[in-house]
Amino acid sequence: MKHPLYLQLLARLKQDLQVLPDKPDETPRNTLDCLWALAAGQPLAISQVRDAVIDDLDLEAQATLNALVDKRLAGTPLSHLTGRQDFMGLVLKSSEAALVPRRETEILGRAAIGKLQGLDVEAPWVVDLCTGCGNLALAMAVAAPQARVWGSDLSEEAVALARENTEFVGRPDVSFYAGDLVVPFDNEEFLGRVDLLTCNPPYISSAKVEQMPEEISGHEPHMAFDGGPFGIKIIQRLIQDAPRLLRPGGWLLFEVGLGQGEPMKQRLERNDAFDQVEVFVDDHGDVRALAARRRR
């Protein structure tokens, strides 16, 4: 038998909650379950709330819950309220310091882990650029414990959150640096040494960034989305700069926006630095990630 407040707030969320297409895991019910748990003092991600035993709320906690539901309905992302976000089976810390990892980025994550597991290298070197909260870097580090993993981001705030996440997922050896694209690794230690380079870059055109829903534009860093006038400014730089870091036979993998897959595939195929190009598609058949092998 559910508490009357639960039933009342569930009805409100069912009526008013707008779930964004790129956060498909959220429902009125699991949103309420997460917020109820939070009001009871347990910050949980969606995946954790299903089996959690959650306490009843006293009057003060009920007021907290009402305020949390108001904030969610006003557009604050669920994971900013709970401070938790699921990504590829991991629970990560989340905040306004970095993009909330999206389910669609798991396409790139799975492709990268597949490549990593296929490498004939004892302790592969892995670098994740535009790392945000460190989700891809840490998913790879957890899936391939033998790998040495580094990440970087232009945003100092994102790097600080990524560093917190290393402890949170149990890979405190993963290092994160602040800097522009490949710059933190553009030195003798890394040049020509990296086995796998991943990147989920900003790829939305500047004009479209202005039109994004309030839940995104009002709460997530613009720097995480803005890919310049045509959306591909960072991707172009990545394709140009990544080969310097990769060893012959090493792989570059990156995410692209809808409609960018075919032109970026052609660009990689025309580039002499690469000798093999692969695409990875979503459930609708749209290309959402690309892989290119550094020429041997």
Ligand X SMILES: C[S@@+](CC[C@H](N)C(=O)[O-])C[C@H]1O[C@@H](n2cnc3c(N)ncnc32)[C@H](O)[C@@H]1O
Residues near ligand X (CB under 6 A) are 98-99, 101, 105, 129-132, 135-136, 153-155, 158, 180-181, 200-202, 221, 223-224, 234
Nearer to ligand X, 201 or 243 (CB): 201
C-beta atoms surrounding 190 within 10 Å = 18
Give every CB contact of residue 53 below 8 A, 6+ residues apart in sequence. none
Nearer to ligand X, 32 or 158 (CB): 158
Q: How far is the CB of 287 from ligand X (least distance, A)?
A: 17
Q: How far apart are CA 77 and CA 67, in angstroms?
A: 14
Residue whose CB is nearest to ligand X in the complex, by number: 132
Q: How far is the CB of 44 from ligand X (least distance, A)?
A: 20
Nearer to ligand X, 57 or 252 (CB): 252
Q: How far is the CB of 137 from ligand X (least distance, A)?
A: 8
Q: How far is the CB of 161 from ligand X (least distance, A)?
A: 10
Among 96, 95, 92, smallest CA distance to 105 is for 92
C-beta atoms surrounding 272 within 10 Å = 7
Nearer to ligand X, 275 or 286 (CB): 286
Q: How far is the CB of 62 from ligand X (least distance, A)?
A: 34
Among 113, 121, 9, smallest CA distance to 65 is for 9
Parallel, antiparallel or unpaired: strands 148-153 and 125-129 = parallel
Coil/strand/helix, residue 134: coil
Nearer to ligand X, 39 or 169 (CB): 169
Q: How far is the CB of 32 from ligand X (least distance, A)?
A: 25
Nearer to ligand X, 65 or 158 (CB): 158
Q: How far is the CB of 139 from ligand X (least distance, A)?
A: 9
Among 37, 66, 29, smallest CA distance to 54 is for 37
Total H helices, total E strands in the chain: 12, 9
Q: How far is the CB of 24 from ligand X (least distance, A)?
A: 15
Q: Bridge partners of 150?
A: 127, 175
Nearer to ligand X, 69 or 88 (CB): 88
One-character DSSP codes across 48-95: HHSS-------HHHHHHHHHHHHHHHTT--HHHHHSEEEETTEEEE--
Nearer to ligand X, 68 or 204 (CB): 204
C-beta atoms surrounding 60 within 10 Å = 9
> DSSP state, 295?
P
